[in-house]
């Protein structure tokens, strides 16, 4: 019942990739690791410049965003995508819990570099 809980102000502990994999299930209506779908694929995410993945049709806002995806930039974006990038196609409230974001990012850091998944 995270929605009713008082959000902790303390910094999140190190991310847990196993918990992050569970949280990633929330993303699967629009995203996959391997393929562009409603949202861009996540393989190769870390170190990629926002809005530059070939074959995906980004919003003008995301093309202009200019950040390189890493733990910090992802944490900021995932907290509130529409506030971070007004005009983004990702019409989603975001993940408000800092620990959940840390877990998700820990999972993404592993999975998006997994050679069995990301060819």
Partner 1 sequence: MTIARLSPTSDGEIRRSFLSGFGKFTLSATAIALLSGNEKLAMIGSAAAQTANNDVAILNSALGAEQQAIAAYQLGAESGLLQKPVLALAVQFQGHHKQHADALAKAVQKLGGKPATPLKDYGFPKEKLKTQADVLNFAATLEKGAVSAYLGAVPILTDRELAKAAASILGDEAMHWAVLRQALGQPPVPEAFVS
**Site of interaction with partner 1 (CB under 8 A):** 1-3, 23, 25-30, 32, 34-38, 82, 87-94
d(CA 115, CA 10): 35
Q: Give 1 or 10: the residue with its C-beta nearer to partner 1.
A: 1
Q: Give 9 or 57: the residue with its C-beta nearer to partner 1.
A: 57
User: What are the CB-based long-range contacts (under 8 Å, 24+) for 41-44?
Assistant: 42/108, 42/111, 42/112, 43/112, 43/117, 43/118, 43/119, 44/112, 44/113, 44/118
Q: Give 95 or 106: the residue with its C-beta nearer to partner 1.
A: 95
The least CB distance from residue 85 to partner 1, in Å, is: 10
Q: Could you tell me if 78 and 103 are in contact, meaning their C-beta atoms sit under 8 angstroms apart?
A: no
The least CB distance from residue 41 to partner 1, in Å, is: 8
Angle 17-24/98-111 helices, nearest 10 degrees? 90
Q: Give 68 or 96: the residue with its C-beta nearer to partner 1.
A: 96
The least CB distance from residue 93 to partner 1, in Å, is: 4
The least CB distance from residue 71 to partner 1, in Å, is: 21
Q: Could you tell me if 36 and 52 are in contact, meaning their C-beta atoms sit under 8 angstroms apart?
A: no
């Amino acid at each position: 019942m995270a929605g009713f809980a008082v959000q902790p102000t303390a910094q999140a502990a190190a991310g847990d990739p196993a918990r992050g994999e569970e949280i990633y299930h929330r993303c699967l209506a629009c995203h996959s690791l391997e393929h562009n779908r409603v949202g861009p694929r996540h393989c190769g995410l870390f170190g990629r410049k926002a809005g530059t993945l070939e074959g995906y049709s980004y919003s003008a806002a995301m093309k202009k965003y200019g950040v390189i995806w890493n733990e910090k930039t992802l944490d900021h974006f995932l907290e509130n995508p529409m506030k971070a990038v007004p005009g983004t196609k990702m019409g989603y409230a975001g993940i408000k819990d800092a620990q959940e974001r840390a877990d998700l990012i820990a999972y993404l850091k592993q999975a998006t570099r997994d050679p069995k998944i990301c060819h």
